[in-house]
Amino acid sequence: MNNRLPSTKEMQAFIVTADHLKLTSAAQVLHVTQGAVSRQILSLEEKLNIRLFDRNARGLTLTEKGLDFLPLIKKVINDLQSAVEKVSNIKPVIRLKIPSCITTWLLPKIMTFQQAYPEISVELTSSIKHDINFSSESFDAAICYFTQVKDNTLISHLLFEEDLTPVCAPSLLPEGKTQLSVDEMKNLPWLHSTPHKCDWALWLANADSASLTSNHNQHFATLDLAVSAARQGFGISIGDVTLASLDMASGRLTRLHSLQVKSGKGYYLVYPKAANNLSLQTLITWLVDN
């Protein structure tokens, strides 16, 4: 066997260090000591007889050889992972980060995916943050909330555009009414998912009622908290039509007005271009098509 072939530990140490350009950060991601990462890198450089990093007082930078080697070795690791998945009896696990506000919409899709592909396990982690940093976060993919995806290291798939409309619990409506005029809404509490009230401001501007205000306002940290309060009858929230669809179909929420407004943003499924994960591609196809 060729003793110059790097070990998987050496390759992983190089990839993580190249992504962070700091031995301390790489050590934290790999759950080893800084010295262990340094030894793996030095061993790899000795086997290849090249220098992968320039070391200086500010940290590390990739050499020209290191820049050439990085995409090649990432492909090797991804191909190896795919090969193991094909023949292994161990379930492949897809680690997916999602914003907490889409959990209700996403869970039924994930459950039907798991029924269709029982050999693939999906591990969901929800967060109030709507972004992802694959260099420092250990996820295979994420669903993010963007105007557009500008990072050219990522592949993105639009799941749905955001369409905003006022929603509330049916119990808040006067008897015999199914909707309210914009002016009638000011008599009920308005629930805001952000301190600057941008969702309400956008919707009111498109309803030609930009100057209208409510007598009672309540602020929340996230969209799902504001919509949850609306479900419980505490007031009116601006909700996304897609995310609120299950609650509206079940009668837990009702639309107060026919006007819905595109915010210009949407929910995208994103993952690194370097990823070559067959199980992940199966999940992506499922979510985009369903």
Q: What pLDDT is recorded for position 239?
A: 94
Q: What are the tens digits of pLDDT across the range 76-108? A: 887 787 777 667 656 678 999 999 889 989 999
Q: What pLDDT is recorded for position 5?
A: 80
Q: What pLDDT is recorded for position 256?
A: 94
CA atoms of 166 and 240, how far apart (whole Å): 9
Rg of the Cα atoms in the chain: 24
Check: CB of residue 227 under 8 Å from CB of residue 100: no
Q: What pLDDT is recorded for position 73?
A: 86
Q: What are the tens digits of pLDDT across the range 131-161? A: 888 877 888 999 999 887 777 788 889 999 9
156-186 burial, b if ≥16 CB within 10 A, otherwise e? bbebeebbbbbbbbeebbeeeeeebebeebb
The residue with tokens 């897609």 is 242
Q: Structurally, what CATH architecture does the domain formed by 162-263 represent?
A: 3-Layer(aba) Sandwich (3.40)
Q: What pLDDT is recorded for position 25?
A: 78
Angle at 242 between CA 141 and CA 286, to 5 degrees: 40
CA atoms of 75 and 88, how far apart (whole Å): 20
Q: Which fold has domain 93-152+266-289?
A: D-Maltodextrin-Binding Protein; domain 2 (3.40.190)
Q: Are 8-87 and 162-263 in the same CATH fold?
A: no
Residue 190 is encoded by which pair of tokens? 């308005």
Q: What are the tens digits of pLDDT across the range 54-65? A: 988 777 899 999
Residue 23 is encoded by which pair of tokens? 């031995």
Q: What pLDDT is recorded for position 1?
A: 43
Q: Which of 1, 10, 8 is nearest to 45 (CA)?
A: 10
Q: Where are the domains of the chain?
A: 8-87, 93-152+266-289, 162-263
What parts of the chain have a pLDDT lower than 70? 1-3, 85-86, 88-91, 276
How many C-alpha atoms does 53 have within 13 Å on its Cβ side? 25
Contacts of 248 (CB under 8 A, 6+ apart): 167, 254, 255
Helix, strand and coil content of the chain, in percent to the nearest 5, comes to 40, 25, 35
How many C-alpha atoms does 218 have within 13 Å on its Cβ side? 19
* Domain spanning 8-87, CATH class: mainly alpha
pTM for the model? 0.68
CA atoms of 50 and 127, how far apart (whole Å): 41
- Please provide the distance, in angstroms rounded to a whole number, between the alpha carbons at the two ends of the chain: 47
CA atoms of 49 and 65, how far apart (whole Å): 11
Q: What pLDDT is recorded for position 43?
A: 92
